[in-house]
């Protein structure tokens, strides 16, 4: 393998992370603004459990946004690791056929050689999305695809 293949490289979508950060901060600020804007007599009608429920819903939505934005792709020397939301995957480079980012796709996909059946045509490959590499990141995404394919090709 090449020198770059001997080290771990991490890819994260900058655009997605900024979007999630802006959406989370906006949601918290707007919720706080609406609470402050409520007349005192309406605020007084909320019980503690109702206020805690509203706060819990806010925390849930911010947490969901952060989970969506936590996608990462890590090119390790011996395997491809990626996290999409709460799911984590790790595949040896020998199982990675190629990584693609087709026109119109929101994120990259890794095409995997299935372990339980032969591959007769490209449609037989298994597809997994790589949410850590987004089309909106432009050249950064294309460079990431190129490096991942170099590693997959080097593994044979």
| Contact yes or no for 73/144 (Cβ under 8 A) | yes
Rounded CA gap, 79 and 91, in Å?
Answer: 5
Q: Is the overall model pTM greater than 0.95, yes or no?
A: no
The confidence score (pLDDT) of residue 1 equals 45
CA proximity to 84, closest of 76, 95, 73, 97: 73
Nearest to 154 by CA among 77, 90, 58: 77
Domain of 64?
Answer: 14-68
Residues 49, 104 within the same domain: no
Q: Which of 68, 85, 105 is the last residue of a domain?
A: 68
Q: What is the pLDDT of residues 126-155, one digit of tens each?
A: 899 999 999 999 999 999 999 999 999 988
pLDDT digits (tens, 9 = 90+) for 67-105: 999 999 999 999 999 999 999 999 999 999 999 999 899
CATH no. for residue 151?
2.30.29
Q: Is the pLDDT of residue 30 over 90?
A: yes
Sequence-ordered list of residues with C-beta below 8 angstroms from that of 102, at least 6 positions apart, any chain: 109
Sign of CA dihedral 27, 33, 39, 44: positive
* Tally of structural domains, the chain: 2
């Amino acid at each position: 393998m090449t020198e770059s293949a001997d080290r771990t490289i991490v890819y994260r979508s900058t655009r997605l992370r900024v979007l999630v950060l802006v959406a989370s901060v906006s949601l918290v600020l707007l919720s706080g603004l609406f609470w402050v804007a409520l007349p005192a007599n309406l605020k007084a009608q909320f019980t503690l459990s109702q206020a805690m429920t509203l706060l819990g819903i806010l925390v849930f939505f911010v947490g969901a946004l952060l989970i969506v934005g936590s996608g990462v792709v890590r090119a390790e020397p011996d395997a491809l690791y990626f996290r999409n939301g709460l799911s984590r995957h790790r595949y040896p480079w020998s199982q990675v056929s190629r990584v693609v980012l087709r026109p119109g796709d929101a994120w990259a996909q890794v095409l995997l050689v299935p372990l339980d059946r032969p591959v007769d045509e490209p449609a037989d490959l298994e597809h997994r999305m790589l949410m850590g590499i987004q089309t909106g990141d432009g050249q950064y995404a294309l460079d990431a695809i190129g490096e991942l394919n170099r590693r997959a090709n080097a593994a044979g």
